[in-house]
Amino acid sequence: MLQSKQAGVLGVAYNVPENIMTNQDLEKIVDTSDEWITERTGIKERRIAGPGQATSDMSLAAGREALERAGIKASDLDLVIVCTLSPDTLFPSTACIVQDRIGAVNAGAFDLSAGCSGFVYGLSVACQMVNSGTHKKILVIGAETLSRILNWKDRNTCVIFADGAGAAVVGEVPAGYGYINSVLGADGAGGNFIIMPAGGTRMPATAETVAGNLHSIHMDGSEVFKFASRIVPKVAFDVLKDTGVAVGDIDIVIPHQANVRIIKSAAKRLGLPVEKFYVNIERYGNTSAASVAIALAEAWENGLIRKENNVLLIGFGAGLTWAGCVLKWSI
Ligand code: ACO
């Protein structure tokens, strides 16, 4: 008989490539300007993986540090989840590569694909597995190397996306702390708004797909923008419903870092001061599934998340997908 537990986050960390690409650097590559990128997105610079650096490398570094901070040995993990849409290889999963390299000899491992909502999906799944008693210690990683699947001639996408990884260790926390609730949503009808068309079984790789740049991110930015502006406040209201936590009780919101205008509009619609939203998009751009994980770890490192705080995580992106998770912080 499994005993139900109270799950929460035991440690967080992040890892980003050293190489910084500024808006001025992009001005030399595509027809864009620092002014346009800053005004339309809020991004000033982003991190781009070095030669040979892949998703599992950043995952490993973030995962190791999160374990150290949680005081957990890799051999104590019983599951590794890597949330990504830019895995090292289509298979084996990046989670299996991390499981091996980190030494999680007693853990299962799988990748989770939910676009930019990935880390919030992964954290929700992990918390509920620990809650149910089936697993005790889970490493959840959000990681991307989007620079490898960008068309560097497409100014609609190459100025936005970037690389990095964030990690959280999920385990049992004292009663009254940890996971409170989550919502996971999808609308597959909007799948074509953000898609990598080739490289799967529908359109396998050929010389034509490579020449046509079909192995890169294609995005209808304004459709995704409309969806995101509508969904972020809805996720917040839905995830807090019947929890006893009101919007005004939230101490910090960690939103997906897609566009500073989406964050400002969500703050307004929720009636929350924008200062309650953690924003680091100006330094890291949109790192998809890594974005909420990096922001969470950085906000914690900067002392902006403290024990007792009500923390609200919100993701949205390719799929289309969305996810919210609310926790009472315990570390
Ligand atoms: N530099 C200069 N001009 C540009 C650039 C650029 N980098 N990119 C586009 N433009 C131009 C367009 O060509 C267009 O010109 P036109 O009017 O002559 O045709 C004009 O700027 C306006 O383009 P829009 O696409 O309407 O610009 P918008 O204000 O919508 O901003 C943006 C674009 C930043 C992409 C915005 O739509 C956005 O943030 N969308 C949401 C993206 C998102 O949230 N993604 C998350 C999911 S990602 C995932 O899951 C992997």
Question: Is the domain of 102 the same as that of 227?
Answer: no
| Domain identity same for 259 and 137 | no
With a 6 Å cutoff on the Cβ, whether 26 touches ligand 1 is: no
Sign of the CA dihedral 53, 119, 218, 319?
A: positive
Q: Which of 145, 110, 295 is nearest to 217 (CA)?
A: 145
Q: Going by CA atoms, what residue is nearest to atom 11 of ligand 1? A: 156
Evaluate whether residue 287 is within a structural domain.
Answer: yes
Which pLDDT tens digit goes with each residue over 207-219? 999 999 999 999 9
> What are all long-range contacts of 268-274, with beta carbons under 8 Å and residues at least 24 apart?
269/232, 269/233, 270/233, 270/236, 270/237, 271/247, 272/247, 272/248
**Does a structural domain hold residue 209?**
yes
Is residue 3's pLDDT more than 90? no
- The per-residue pLDDT for range 108-139, each reduced to its tens digit, is 999 999 999 999 999 999 999 999 999 999 99
User: Catalytic site residue 116?
Assistant: yes
Grade residue 36 by pLDDT with cuts at 50, 70 and 90.
very high
Write down which residue in 110, 141, 175 finishes a domain.
Answer: 175
pLDDT of residue 154: 97
Verify whether ligand 1 is closer than 6 Å to residue 113 (CB atom): no
pLDDT in tens, 142-152: 999 999 999 99
CATH code, domain carrying 113: 3.40.47.10
Neighbours of 91 (CB within 10 A): 9
**Cβ(221) – ligand 1 distance below 6 Å:** yes
What are the pLDDT digits (tens) for 273-299? 999 999 999 999 999 999 999 999 999
Residue 1 falls inside a structural domain: no
Question: Measured from the CB, is residue 86 less than 6 Å from ligand 1?
Answer: no
Mutate to test the pocket of ligand 1, among 225, 235, 281, 322 (most ligand atoms within 8 A of CB): 225
pLDDT digits (tens, 9 = 90+) for 76-115: 999 999 999 999 999 999 999 999 999 999 999 999 999 9
- In ligand 1, which atom is closest to the CA atom of 319? 50
Peptide bond into 214 cis (omega under 30): no
Pocket perturbation via mutation, ligand 1, pick of 34, 40, 44, 116 by most ligand atoms within 8 A of CB: 40
Give the distance (Å) from ligand 1 centre to CA of residue 241. Answer: 33
Q: Rounded to whole angstroms, how far apart are CA atoms 77 and 74?
A: 6
Which of 156, 175, 194 is a domain's end point? 175
In a domain, 64, yes or no: yes
User: Which residue among 124, 141, 175 closes a domain?
Assistant: 175
In-domain check, residue 2: no
Confirm or reject: Cβ of 259 under 6 Å from ligand 1: yes
Q: How far apart are CA 126 and CA 130, in angstroms?
A: 6
Cβ atoms of 316 and 227 closer than 8 Å: yes
pLDDT band at 4 (very low <50, low <70, confident <90, very high): confident
Mean pLDDT over 295-321 rounds to 97
- The whole-angstrom distance between residue 189's C-alpha and the CA centroid of its chain comes to 22
Quick check: CB of 289 below 6 Å from ligand 1? no
Select which of 15, 23, 96, 116 is catalytic.
116
- In this structure, the answer to whether residues 274 and 132 fall within a common structural domain is no
Residue 50 CA, chain-centre distance (Å), reads: 20
Q: Are residues 196 and 267 in the same domain?
A: yes
What angle in degrees, to the nearest 10, is found between the helix axes of 55-70 and 291-301? Answer: 40
Nearest CA to ligand 1 atom 36: 221
The alpha-carbon radius of gyration of the chain (Å, integer) is: 19
Predicted local confidence at residue 5, as pLDDT = 83
Q: What are phi and psi of 318, to 5 degrees?
A: -55, 145
Q: What is the pLDDT of residue 235?
A: 97
Q: Tell me, yes or no, whether 158 and 215 share the same domain.
A: no
- Give percent above pLDDT 70 in the chain: 99
Co-location of 194 and 54 in the same domain: no
Of 280, 286, 309, 310, which is the active-site residue? 286
Strand partners, 155: none
Residue 159 sits in the same domain as residue 266: no
- DSSP assignment of 116-130: GGHHHHHHHHHHHHH
Supply the pLDDT for residue 1. 62
- My answer on whether 230 and 300 are in the same domain is yes
Report the share of the chain in percent with pLDDT over 90. Answer: 98
**Are 156 and 45 members of one domain?**
yes
Q: What pLDDT does residue 174 have? A: 95
How much distance in Å is there from the Cα of 37 to the middle of ligand 1?
9
Q: Which two tokens stand for residue 208?
A: 């034509």
Report the predicted TM-score, pTM, of the whole model to 2 decimal places: 0.96
Atom of ligand 1 nearest to the CA of 228: 44
Name the domain count of the chain. 2
Secondary structure (3-state) at 239: helix
Return the C-alpha torsion angle 303, 307, 309, 313, nearest 10.
70
Q: What is the pLDDT of residues 154-168, one digit of tens each?
A: 999 999 999 999 999
User: What pLDDT, on the 0 to 100 scale, is given for residue 236?
Assistant: 96
Same domain, residue pair 11 and 123: yes
* Count of C-beta atoms within a 10 Å radius of residue 261: 15
Please say if 309 is a catalytic residue: no
Same-domain status, 316 and 188: yes
Within-domain flag for 59:
yes
Position 95 in a domain: yes
Note if 256 is an active site residue.
Answer: yes
By residue range, what is the domain housing residue 312?
179-328
Is the beta carbon of 228 within 6 A of some atom in ligand 1?
yes
Nearest CA, atom 39, ligand 1: 259
Q: Is the CB of 287 under 6 A from ligand 1?
A: no
Q: Measured from the CB, is residue 222 less than 6 Å from ligand 1?
A: yes
- Give yes or no: residues 153 and 25 share one domain: yes
pLDDT at 99: 98
Q: Is the residue at 71 inside a domain?
A: yes
Mean pLDDT over 248-252 rounds to 96
Residue (of 213, 171, 162, 217) closest to 193 by Cα position: 217
Question: Residue 54: is its pLDDT beyond 90?
Answer: yes
